[in-house]
Structure 1
């Protein structure tokens, strides 16, 4: 029971740190934000921060890991071979993270998202192209192309303030996956 309580408290601490960082990032350049500032806003100690993270970028990376984990759970519900739904879920998942994404763009930290896209989406893109009779070399480049496409279309969509629906974005990207 004590372990479950510690896990719960740690989750609350991490959520508080992330929320505080997002609030501060809306007003201040990321590279000028200190751990002390974030922990004061979050109402946690610096020790609590350093128990979970080494640097502020880790807060964002950790949260992105959670976003991709939620995306993965959603994919499991619809099935990986339903390409349109997989793409639609991608746009739906990240539309809900507007503040984070805008903060990443404004702070020139989109490379953190790109890194996660490259890591996570590679397997999804591999499944999308696996039924095509590509040579191993063409398959490798096609997977990189699709992974970069997911990332760049997402960034452009955010920059256009999500003017198009998730369904439109999924249909647009799905055309490349056929």
Structure 2
């Protein structure tokens, strides 16, 4: 049992070292220009340690950012007061802005967006009442909203968060409500 815990600790250390090294290299290099060799050298681990844990450099970033983003989505899904959710989101967005800027500048934004998309699908699965929408309508509505919401958050974060978080939150809620009402109206019309 102790050997297993030790092996798990070593694996986690290798993953942490690789993520730290990759993020350090991304401060001055585009993801497309980096190699596994550069990252393992910077991390002080072997190529074998890299390939035991990951297939690509994007996998390192996914392993690093997925728990961070998922935790914030869990906060939103948790039944906590709205004011606390807004405080948590404000903190999150303050911390996320430099990362998103770096992701855009250094070519790893698709990693962030994929994690966001996965969590939005999970969010809608847990929170939506579909009221007669077909599976196809549910799937495409979720994809439409996920892409739109990502673009709203992206624009808001990258342009200096000039509107309040409450304004952005209300705007997204308005879009969700309006598009869902249109979808439900379409479903009712197709029944006749």
TM score, norm. by length of structure 1: 0.77
Q: Secondary structure at the match of 1:105?
A: helix
Shift of 1:90: 5.9
Which 5+ residue runs of structure 1 have no aligned equivalent? none
- Tell me the residue number matched to 1:125: 124
What is the RMSD of the two structures over their aligned residues, measured on CA atoms?
3.0
Name the CA shift for 1:87/1:152 in 2 (closer, same or farther; >3 Å).
farther
Distance (Å, rounded) in 2 between the aligned partners of 1:145 and 1:89: 25
Pair 1:151 & 2:145 matched: no
Shift of 1:165: 4.8
Distance (Å, rounded) in 2 between the aligned partners of 1:84 and 1:124: 19
Q: Secondary structure at the match of 1:63?
A: helix
- Tell me the residue number matched to 2:99: 100
Name the CA shift for 1:16/1:166 in 2 (closer, same or farther; >3 Å).
farther
Q: Any idea what the Cα deviations from partners look like across 1:66-118, whole Å, max 9, x if unmatched?
A: 22432354345436xx8897787566545423343222211333222232233
Shift of 1:134: 5.1
Q: Any idea what the Cα deviations from partners look like across 1:119-162, whole Å, max 9, x if unmatched?
A: 221131244431x5352244333222221122112221231144
Distance (Å, rounded) in 2 between the aligned partners of 1:91 and 1:134: 35
Q: 1:34-113 to 2 correspondence within 5 Å?
A: 34-75=35-76, 77-78=78-79, 92-93=91-92, 95-113=94-112
Name the CA shift for 1:41/1:58 in 2 (closer, same or farther; >3 Å).
same
* Aligned 8 A contact 1:18 1:63 in 2: yes
Which 5+ residue runs of structure 2 have no aligned equivalent? 178-192
* Aligned 8 A contact 2:18 2:60 in 1: yes
- How many residue pairs match? The answer is 175
Find the structure with the greater CA-based Rg. Answer: 2
Q: Secondary structure at the match of 1:117?
A: helix
